[in-house]
Amino acid sequence: MADIRTKVVALGLGSVLVTGAALAGVGAWRTGDFAQQAERDATTMTAQRLDALTQGVYDVVSTQGASTAQMVDTALRTATHVTDQAGGLAVGGGSVTWQAKNQVPGTSRPSRSRGWRSAAPGWARSSTRSRPPRSSTSSRSSPGRPSPSSSA
């Protein structure tokens, strides 16, 4: 029979090994749970940040769209007012011809549309032009007439 000292050492060593194995098992189990929870938290946080970013971009774009629409409405009201003061527009007898250029391949082709003229007798101009009319963003205006950018 083994002496008591060997039995106590064996019991102590067995207790340490069983406790170590139990702690290692619980640690591995909890580490797996922690990793899964960390992955869920990271996915949730990423989705929330993406939603916030998307909402921010949407807000900026919709605000810019509303601002642009308001500017176009104001410019259209101004142009309508100026045109009405000048007697309005009517379809002219001639046509307007210009070169239409496709910006991507760089090809050009002649283009033609019906000419416009002022309906007011004093504002009659030739209905045929060699190039299209100036855009409404032009800063030049005729003497005595407001520019398209001024408010009515």
Q: Does residue 136 belong to any structural domain of this protein?
A: no
Distance between CA atoms of residues 137 and 106, nearest Å? 24
Q: Is the pTM of this model over 0.75?
A: no
Q: Is 91 helix (H, G, I), strand (E, B) or coil?
A: strand
User: Which range marks the domain in which residue 50 is found?
Assistant: 1-91
Q: Does residue 109 belong to any structural domain of this protein?
A: no
What is the tally of structural domains in the chain? 1
Burial of 81 (0-12, 13-18, 19+ CB in 10 A): middle
Q: How many CB atoms lie within 10 A of CB 83?
A: 15
Mean pLDDT, residues 126-130 taken together: 41
* 26-68 confidence digits (pLDDT tens): 888 888 888 889 999 999 999 999 999 999 999 999 999 999 9
Q: Does residue 147 belong to any structural domain of this protein?
A: no
